[in-house]
Structure 1
Amino acid sequence: MRSWLLSHETNERKRSSPREMLLFFFRRSVETSFPNETGQLTAGPESPEGPLSPARPAGPSIPCSPGGPAGPESPRRPRGPSLPAAPEEPGGPTMP
């Protein structure tokens, strides 16, 4: 019985066109990465929160955390103020 189910699934997969498979995977990736109308991430199959939600808090917490991550982060901090200075000198866009 189980082998018949597996062979039936593979036959169904072979019948679907590449375009249908692309649409299926595209819809699945969009559903797991973008929030729905209520503003909540639609639940992915691997976790109730969705695959991307645990990674989001890790981004802001790295600069805020004191200790180990702050050491490698400190050479990058002087580059931070230099980034706003770059738009102040727009020589390229103003010349034409």
Structure 2
Amino acid sequence: MIDEGLTEPGVTSNNREDVQNLFKQGKVGMMITAPFLSNQIKDEAPSLKYGVAAIPAGPTGARGTYGVTDSMIMFKNSENKDEAWKLMDFLFTTEQR
């Protein structure tokens, strides 16, 4: 796709935030992302016209979901383990998802 000019040469060096910012600037035509982007667009690019669609089905007609596994860790030598556990317990409650 790079050789055909369909995407920029350094496309694989962009992280999620880079691509989302390009989308909010109207420089990316489509992307797969998470629901939080709509709130960012409302706040940061309120005049951006965009739509939302399901991820296309595969050859068998089955659909998948977009899953991201951002990770949290606590080091075994942490001096703040109790506080870290409390934070992780809070972040993974149903209300925070």
Larger radius of gyration: 1
Query: TM class, shorter-chain normalised?
Result: under 0.3
